[in-house]
Amino acid sequence: MTEYPLDISSLEKMIDSGRDSAMLRLSLARLLAQHGRPDDAVMHLEAALDMKPEYTAAWKELGRQHMAAGRIEDARQAWERGIVIANQNGDKQAGKEMTVFLRRLDKPSA
């Protein structure tokens, strides 16, 4: 089986060619995050959630990228919304993970 490496430009080309999807946007956001581009990642995560508002993985990653960009309250809002969505969809694992992220925000610094 041939493996094709994912890179930012190839994913952007897929979007530009009309093969856009929430999963593609999440993949692109994760790559952008790996390259230290949280603001660009947020843009694509928001696009993913416009397409598929129930996509709990995108809510979880949106909170992470807001955190990476130093936007604590935006991260909190993303995770709170993501928990609601996860509970509605029965996605218990994602809900638990986002709950842990929120608890970490609320812990006083040592």
Q: Is the pLDDT of residue 12 over 90?
A: yes
Q: Is residue 3 part of a domain?
A: no
5 — pLDDT class (breaks 50, 70, 90): low
Tell me if 2 is assigned to some domain: no
Q: Which helix H or strand E contains 83, and what residues bound it?
A: helix 72-89
How many domains does the chain divide into? 1
Q: Is 1 among the domain residues?
A: no
HSE at residue 81, side-chain half, CA atoms within 13 A, is 18
Is residue 104 pLDDT above 80, yes or no?
yes
Which tokens belong to 77?
């809002």
Residue of 94, 30, 26, 24 lying closest to 56 (CA atoms): 94
Domain assignment of residue 28, given as a range = 8-106
Write the CATH number for 79: 1.25.40.10
Q: Look at residue 101 and tell me if it is in a domain.
A: yes
Tell me, yes or no, if the pTM score tops 0.75.
yes
Residue 16 in this model has a pLDDT that exceeds 80: yes
